[in-house]
């Protein structure tokens, strides 16, 4: 796994899917995972979570809703990304937009693995999303079935994902 990930964009269903995949990889690596909601952090929370392990074990920190991070906590992230620990994976989740843009720009400078979660507006993008969900669950769906599902539920990716999960289980 890379040291730093940035899940960026307003489409929460895509962000959750990306985060779930990363968490599965971390679990496979027997990684100790800490999750913080940026808006709930106080000074020192992030630095404590990123402090080197006494036992040199793999660790990960997930910071959700990065756009809500208090200004006082930003230096903790800036110090860490300048010299990341190779035994730690840091995952940022940001909903996009201009809130917290300076921090996002600073994170981008260290070249994280960026996972774009932009809204899917075209039918072809939604169809590809559904097709990929089926494949992730070890199933295949015909183009006609994918088109029918997108036609029925195409405006909400969470509903589409739920339907795919239910159909795959049946």
CA gap 104, 114 in Å, rounded: 11
pTM of the model: 0.85
CA gap 138, 95 in Å, rounded: 29
pLDDT at 65 over 80: yes
pLDDT at 83 over 70: yes
CA gap 2, 5 in Å, rounded: 7
Could you give the residue ranges of the DSSP H alpha helices within 29-156? 45-50, 74-82, 101-109, 123-136, 143-153
- The answer to whether residues 154 and 123 touch, using CB atoms and an 8 Å cutoff, is yes
pLDDT at 53 over 80: no
- How deeply is 27 buried, as exposed, middle or buried, from its count of CB atoms within 10 A (0-12, 13-18, 19+)? exposed
What residues contact 57, with CB distance under 8 A and at least 6 apart? 31, 32, 87
Going by pLDDT thresholds of 50, 70 and 90, the confidence category of residue 56 is low
Could you give the residue ranges of the DSSP H alpha helices within the chain? 12-28, 45-50, 74-82, 101-109, 123-136, 143-153, 157-169
Residue range 101-111, pLDDT digits in tens: 999 999 999 99
pLDDT of residue 10: 94
How far, in whole angstroms, is CA 106 from its chain's centroid? 18
Q: Quick one: average pLDDT of 64-85? A: 95
């Amino acid at each position: 796994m890379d040291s730093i990930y940035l899940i960026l964009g307003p489409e929460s269903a895509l962000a959750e899917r990306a985060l779930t995949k990363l968490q599965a990889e971390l679990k496979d690596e027997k990684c100790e995972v800490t999750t913080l909601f940026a808006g709930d952090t106080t000074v020192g929370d992030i630095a404590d979570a990123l402090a080197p392990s006494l036992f040199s074990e793999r660790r990960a920190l997930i910071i959700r809703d990065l756009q809500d991070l208090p200004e006082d906590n930003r230096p903790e992230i800036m110090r860490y990304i300048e010299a990341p620990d190779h035994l730690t994976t840091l995952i940022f989740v940001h909903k996009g937009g201009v809130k917290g843009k300076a921090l996002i720009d600073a994170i981008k400078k260290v070249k994280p693995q960026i996972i774009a979660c932009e809204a899917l507006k075209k039918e072809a993008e939604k169809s590809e999303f559904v097709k990929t969900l089926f494949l992730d669950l070890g199933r295949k769906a015909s183009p006609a079935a994918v088109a029918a599902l997108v036609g029925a539920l195409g405006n909400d990716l969470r509903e589409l994902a739920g339907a795919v999960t239910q159909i795959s289980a049946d």
